[in-house]
Amino acid sequence: MSTAVDPREDPALRRRNIRLAIVLGIVAVAVYVTFFLVKGMGGE
């Protein structure tokens, strides 16, 4: 999506930015948790 207006002046763009950031943050946390789960399933 190409817009290049300032998010301070465009609440829709601001919402889109925050939404994508949250999705990426969830991915990062999911990778972190997955490594514990994999070890948990395969461990003693």
Interface ranges with another protein (CB under 8 A): 1-7, 13, 16-18, 20-21, 24-25, 27-29, 31-32, 35-36, 39, 43-44
CB within 8 Å of 10: residues ≥ 6 apart: 3
Q: How far is the CB of 33 from another protein (least distance, A)?
A: 8
Q: How far is the CB of 43 from another protein (least distance, A)?
A: 7
DSSP state of 23: H
Give CA angle at 42 (39, 44), nearest 5°. Answer: 95
Q: How far is the CB of 41 from another protein (least distance, A)?
A: 13
